[in-house]
Chains A and B, each alone.
Chain A
């Protein structure tokens, strides 16, 4: 029971270390995949919407604290992304959604939600071209994150806990 809450935090610190040290080495035109979002989507589908929402808030708050971003910004975007991913949970659906290419599509959707909210709150300005921001800051990074999430499907099924 305790591990249910501690494991995602341990995983977070490990994955966040990768995110800020190794992942920048695979950037494409300044775009990097969001590994934290991939694990958030995984936990949200496998453990439910409520769990995903709270975990999104915790992950977002930790990212804001560690990265020096505006405090509360990632918390808001990751909370809603975790909540969105929670719609794809369910006793029968969750195994299908975590073990097939559906997973990447869900990651794509949640990543778009996450990046749109993040970009909107951080660059809100009447002069800014919203469509350009949606394309460059939301769609492209989301696509990259979704592509990287395919690698997650190769992680052995028996090691995953649902």
Chain B
């Protein structure tokens, strides 16, 4: 028996090892949602991210001048927006007073920088230099001044990993800002599309897409992109809607994590509701 096994091993050891490692990979693939596996991943990327951050700091300082100029420009644009929003805010407060509605919700922002990017076509993710110590939790939205970047996937003490819009595993409920139609935003591996919109619904090229208020992940409307292409389906029920994201994912360096998760938001809203009963 042993001799037979030795003979088989000697002749086919490469294939035996291949089968074993492939099976092992498939078993590990099926265990991705296991909390223990998630914990091991968090420890592993957290340890490596501390080394990566040193190198990324060296490179990021060379970009400071360009970034400063861009920030000044954004600042000027934001100042103009702000003055407009102030006017709306005053009107909004007046209207809230009329209906005795008090807003108790606030959205603290956690600043973070990208220390590494995985430029994969399908599994695009970014490692950020903010983690559990900064109150970052899985599920929090990652944004910048242009719009949504992604969602925090896992966190370690000092670092976190976020799935970007270019990740096939990230599916978001979004809506057309003009017509208020909800759909599912999904990255196919080559383009960002909005799914489950019937052909008869009102969507036009140029419409702004924002996160939906019925989203189970992002509780506040965050700009996502603009409808680039719209084709009513000839035979099927649903139309083809291609979305161009506002954020250029290849050029981002600094961003913010919106420190809210849906459950807390729902809780706040419910409390707000009962306060007015």
Contacts and interface: CB of A to CB of B under 8 A. Distances in A.
A32 interface: yes
A70 B123 contact: yes
B117 interface: yes
B29 interface: yes
Interface of B: 13-14, 17-18, 21-22, 24-32, 37, 40-41, 44-45, 48, 51-52, 55-56, 59, 116-123, 125, 127, 153-154, 161, 168-169, 188-190, 250
Contacts of B26: 72, 76
Contact of A21 (B31, B116, B188): B116
B118 A123 contact: no
A27 to B, nearest CB: 6
B142 to A, nearest CB: 13
A137 interface: yes
Contact of B32 (A61, A72, A132): A72
Given A21-B55, A54-B21, A76-B22, A68 B45 contact: yes
Given A17-B52, A79-B18, A67 B118 contact: yes
Interface of A: 17, 20-22, 24-25, 27, 30, 32, 49-50, 53-54, 56-57, 60-61, 64-73, 75-76, 79-80, 83, 86, 118-119, 121-123, 125, 127-129, 132-133, 136-137, 141
A92 to B, nearest CB: 19
20 contacts: A22-B59, A27-B119, A32-B119, A57-B25, A67-B125, A68-B125, A68-B154, A69-B118, A69-B120, A69-B123, A70-B29, A70-B32, A70-B169, A72-B27, A80-B18, A83-B18, A122-B189, A128-B189, A132-B190, A133-B190
A32 B117 CA distance: 11
Contacts of A60: 25
A121 B28 CA distance: 13
Nearest to B195: A127
Contacts of A136: 121, 190
B189 A53 contact: no
